[in-house]
Amino acid sequence: MELKEAQARVDAWISQFEEGYWPPLANLARLVEEVGELSRELNHRYGPKRKKPSEADADLALEMGDILFVLLALANEQGIDLDEALERTLEKYRVRDSDRWTRRDG
């Protein structure tokens, strides 16, 4: 799925409700919360913090999907085309970081 389609699907979901889009700072808080949930799970898996025996593993893909949903909603609310934004970012990295790391042979 292209980001443009993802943004349209998020917009269709949100637009069916009277409340519509949350204000930008509320969406930012949601985004930080979702990133925190992903951080917690990664810290449990790979960091020094161990889960309680009663805690189940979180679904990393679902946590990332939650982050993406909120980011798409924030972009929609701000009128940002994420396909274009990602293209610009990839070009920035291509130019800025092309000689930064050791390339693999081939």
Tokens of 41: 């799970």
Q: How many other C-beta atoms lie within 10 A of the C-beta of residue 48?
A: 6
Kindly give the residue spans of alpha helices, DSSP state H, lying in the chain: 3-15, 24-46, 60-78, 82-97
Burial of 10 (0-12, 13-18, 19+ CB in 10 A): buried
The rounded mean pLDDT for the chain is 94
Q: How confident is the model at residue 99 (pLDDT cuts 50, 70, 90)?
A: confident
Encode pLDDT of 38-73 as tens digits: 999 999 999 998 888 898 999 999 999 999 999 999
Distance CA 78, CA 91 (A): 22
Task: From the options 1.10.3720.10, 3.40.50.1970, 1.10.287.1080, 3.30.450.20, give the CATH code of 3-97.
Answer: 1.10.287.1080
pTM, entire model = 0.89
Tokens of 40: 């917690």
pLDDT of residue 101: 86
pLDDT at 36 over 80: yes
Q: Where are the domains of the chain?
A: 3-97
Burial of 74 (0-12, 13-18, 19+ CB in 10 A): buried
